Amino acid sequence: MSFTHRCWAEIDLDALRGNLAWLRYRIGPQKKILTVVKADAYGHGLRQVAALLMQAGTDIFGVANLQEARDIRSVGRGFPILMLGACLPDEVETAVKDNVMPTLSTIAEARAFSATAARLGKSVQAHLKVDTGMGRLGAPVDAVPKLLAAVDRLPHLRVTGLYTHYAAAEDDAAYSRRQRRAFEKLVQQLARDGRGFDFIHANNSAALLHEPDAMCNLARPGLLVYGVLPPGRRRAPALLKRHLRPALSLKCRVALVKTIEPGASLSYGRSFVASRRMRVATLTAGYGDGYLRSGSGSARVLVGGRLCSVLGRITMDQLMVDVSRVRAQPGDEAVLIGKQGRAEITAQQLAQWCGTVPWEILTAITYRVPRLYCGGSAA
């Protein structure tokens, strides 16, 4: 084909490999690691990322649906997969057949899995989730001992993992401590009753940075694997910035450069009106690529190695930036996330400009944007 891309993502597999290696070093040799690859591996491309993480030594994968589990299996067999959401009633059979470990919160779910496994002549390993304050999934802490005793009596089902999820590990130290203490107490109580687990886990990326995890033997990071720091009031240790590298860059091109006069307005809704003569570049990306419209008037883009302000509304396929102070011409590369020269825009920074979180920035990148891989050895 004799054309290039208009908007694309570059995924550095060596960065992913380095991030996983560093996280393993940080959690220590006694603990295992579950890498979260839901939502197309946070927009990085599930198959390629899963293959790389298998080579780089992940122990378990975390997914949000059964198709993701199948995509993982299509590039490598035998890796345990934990479904992080609750399975729908009509998903139970496929989960059992595909050997995907479910997350259980209720006896009804456990019974459905046990019965389905019996019918299929299989046995299911499951993780039981404890709600220590997230309020989304999991059994209330006090209800867990009785629930577990009941689940343990079901045939064809074995609870091999116990876990919980922090609601505000990046912001709220006191609340996180309460969640952690409640979980610790439960784990200790169950241990006194002789009930141990192969896997005990709680720590997402923010908790890995901020919460002790003595009672856990499995870490459960997503965002950090991709080299992006969770934002929040609790400050991440500075050394992280040196050891983790963002794996994804998002780029587009300058399609047109023009000069506008004072009083000229730009884009839909005319939210921007020029107060001076300025040079404006039209770029080949928009919200149809996942560059969020909420960045209109606040986001910045790298052109010519400098930060250039987004002017007016971001449209579906194009956006405009102020290039008055840089050299720019049609065909030039523009960086929406990533480095250009010595300047860098992180997903976290773009999220701030858009009034959202880096998780949404990454998973918003649409199907239209080709993912180009470099480094490592992809599937």
Determine the 3-state secondary structure of 306 from DSSP.
strand
Residues between 127 and 166 with contacts to ligand PLP, criterion CB under 6 A: 165
Judged by beta carbon, residue 81 or residue 310, the one nearer ligand PLP is 81
Q: Which amino acid is at 68?
A: E
Judged by beta carbon, residue 222 or residue 376, the one nearer ligand PLP is 222
Q: Which amino acid is at 194?
A: G
* Contact between 231 and ligand PLP per CB under 6 A: no
Least spacing, CB of residue 190 vs ligand PLP, in Å: 20
Judged by beta carbon, residue 123 or residue 363, the one nearer ligand PLP is 363
Judged by beta carbon, residue 81 or residue 285, the one nearer ligand PLP is 81
Looking up tokens 């509304």 gives: 313
Please count the CA atoms within 13 angstroms of the CA of 240 that sit on its side-chain side.
22
Stretch that binds ligand PLP, among 199-207, 333-341, 342-350, 368-376 (CB under 6 A): 199-207
Least spacing, CB of residue 262 vs ligand PLP, in Å: 46
User: Which pairing describes strands 103-104 and 306-311: parallel, antiparallel, or unpaired?
Assistant: unpaired
Whether residue 287 lies in the annotated active site: no
* Contact between 282 and ligand PLP per CB under 6 A: no
* CA–CA separation, 179 and 197 (whole Å): 19
Residues 6+ apart with CB under 8 A from 194: none
Least spacing, CB of residue 183 vs ligand PLP, in Å: 13
Radius of gyration of the chain (CA): 24
Stretch that binds ligand PLP, among 140-148, 218-226, 265-273, 319-327 (CB under 6 A): 218-226
The token pair that represents 2 in the structure block? 């004799």
Q: Which of 7, 23, 33, 36 binds ligand PLP (CB under 6 A)?
A: 36
Catalytically annotated residue among 32, 38, 129, 251: 38
The token pair that represents 109 in the structure block? 């779910």
Least spacing, CB of residue 215 vs ligand PLP, in Å: 16
Q: Which of 24, 26, 220, 313 binds ligand PLP (CB under 6 A)?
A: 220
The token pair that represents 318 in the structure block? 């194009």
Judged by beta carbon, residue 117 or residue 216, the one nearer ligand PLP is 216
* CA–CA separation, 47 and 293 (whole Å): 29
Catalytically annotated residue among 25, 32, 268, 367: 268
Q: Which amino acid is at 65?
A: N
Residues 6+ apart with CB under 8 A from 29: none
* CA–CA separation, 292 and 352 (whole Å): 12
Whether residue 268 lies in the annotated active site: yes
Judged by beta carbon, residue 186 or residue 223, the one nearer ligand PLP is 223
* Contact between 205 and ligand PLP per CB under 6 A: yes
Q: Which of 18, 102, 161, 222 binds ligand PLP (CB under 6 A)?
A: 222
Closest residue by beta carbon to ligand PLP: 222
Q: Cβ(6)–Cβ(252) under 8 Å? A: yes
Write the DSSP string, 160-216.
Answer: EEEEE--SSTTT-HHHHHHHHHHHHHHHHHHHHTT---SEEE---HHHHHHS--TT-
Q: Which of 132, 176, 204, 340 binds ligand PLP (CB under 6 A)?
A: 204
Q: Which amino acid is at 355?
A: G
Least spacing, CB of residue 179 vs ligand PLP, in Å: 13
Looking up tokens 């579906």 gives: 316
Task: Give the catalytic positions in this structure.
Answer: 38, 268
Question: Which residues of the chain form contacts with ligand PLP (CB under 6 A)?
Answer: 36, 38, 84, 165, 204-206, 220-223, 230
